[in-house]
C-alpha cells in the first residue's frame, strides 16, 4: 500500500527535544524496516514540514514506525493510490 505522510514539527520544542528528534531520525534511517520503502521525500522551503511517500504492507506498520516521533511531530497519514491518464483536455 502507498501512504502519504505529512510531518510538522510541534511548536516550541526545546533545543534538547530537537536533538532527540534528530537522533530518532538517524536511528530510523539507519534501520528502515525491510517491508517499508521510501519512494520520495520533500521538505518545505521554510522547513515547517516534510512530506514522505512510502510503501508499506498496512497502516499498522506505518503507525508503528511513526510512533517514536509522536512527541515531536504532528503527523497526517493518508493511504493513496497512484493515478494515471489525466489530461488537460
CA distance 45 to 76: 19
- Report if residue 70 sits inside a domain: yes
- What CATH number does residue 52 fall under? 3.30.70.1060
Whether 59 contacts 77, CB under 8 Å: yes
* Per-residue model confidence as pLDDT tens digits over 27-70: 999 999 999 999 999 999 988 889 999 999 999 999 999 999 99
Count of the separate structural domains present in the chain: 1
C-alpha 14: how far from its chain's center?
A: 21
Does residue 88 sit within a domain? no
The model's pTM is: 0.85
26-32 contacts, C-beta under 8 A, 24 or more apart: 28/65, 28/68
Cell 522547513 -> residue: 47
Handedness of CA 55, 59, 64, 68 (dihedral sign): positive
Which residues form the domain of 64? Answer: 2-80
Amino acid at each position: 500500500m502507498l501512504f502519504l505522510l505529512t510531518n510538522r514539527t510541534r511548536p516550541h520544542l526545546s533545543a534538547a527535544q530537537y536533538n532527540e528528534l534528530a537522533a530518532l531520525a538517524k536511528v530510523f534511517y539507519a534501520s528502515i524496516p525491510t517491508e517499508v520503502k521510501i519512494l520520495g521525500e520533500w521538505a518545505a522551503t521554510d522547513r515547517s514540514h516534510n512530506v514522505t511517500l512510502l510503501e508499506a504492507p498496512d497502516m499498522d506498520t506505518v503507525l508503528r514506525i511513526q510512533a517514536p516521533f509522536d512527541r515531536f511531530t504532528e503527523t497526517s497519514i493518508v493511504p493513496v493510490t497512484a493515478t494515471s491518464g489525466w489530461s488537460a483536455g
